[in-house]
Structure 1
């Protein structure tokens, strides 16, 4: 009889433990869901700011082209266009500040996708470009750098920066390695050119290291050392 009471009490205590934990687990799940929803909303706002800034950039380029075609003498049309340009520049500055604020709060939680060579991470990609997701871009960049490292005619000085309208491109000859956008720069908290130069230096160093570690001299030296070890052991 006593044994049955002990078992009953033990079962009841386990029930109380589970019942006490369940609300906490439910609350944690609910909090996680709310947190994830907030992150999703922030990401949407960041993407919206990016789209609006791109649209403004295109409009600004159109206005600048129209202003350039006008004569340098003062006229009403030119004055109106320049006013519109100034307004666009001010709006773009405000949107940049807002977007940067959103990104600063997201950076603690959003993990970028690594660009990897020789099992080492060179840098991370956070944003998409066109139809390429951040993961697609990271994988494509890793493959391009890997292909570059395999070239027998590789020359570090041939990795150059090329300025495009909306990006700073890292190229090797005519081959694109990385296209660094203003959005990439915002996520890395640098200017576009600073980030491109940083990426270029990391790519150059990584390719050099890869070639040093996989070159025929290194492989031959390791093979000789392996044979010496075998000879000593036997």
Structure 2
């Protein structure tokens, strides 16, 4: 009887461990306020807080993995982590390679920022981060595209005169423009791009996608997702109705 009880307890422990599935969350760590590395050297930002809450609601254990943007999809596909949660816009092109959850940020605008109002956005030189929907847009706009591996480099290109303007998510540019003390300014019209921001997963991981979809839905329904969006992006950004 004692052996039976011990065996049953051991099986229960193994079962409980199996239920606590560990999911590796891949992010860039270089795109504030979506994701960044804080002073303690840890991944931080809107998506860190969101991802931890989604894993809690889905009864998953999160481990965070930092990966450069230009290889973030290939390394998901090859199994170096299980999700992408990195400010990635949902597009048809990306959806051919990976799968997406529903969006956790509604479709937002992209914008131009420059050091002068008198810039030629149609025929000038515009900086954008490699492998982004913004880079794809500029490549077809008639302007000369210069691509950089990190968003910080796109801003530096404008400041040092290598580019006339930078084109990026407006959510990313707003604090940079505001903190530049007039050195940088928004120019031209905002441009709506993409189908919102979602989590990327391997196409074979339908069960995991369903768990995160359910968790995102629950945060939309109880209002906590809108609260988190406003906390990190301010009161002027689009939220869910």
**TM-score of the aligned structures, taking structure 1 as reference length:** 0.28
Q: Which has the higher contact order (CA 8 A, sep 6+)?
A: 2
Q: Which has the larger radius of gyration?
A: 1
More helix, by proportion: 1
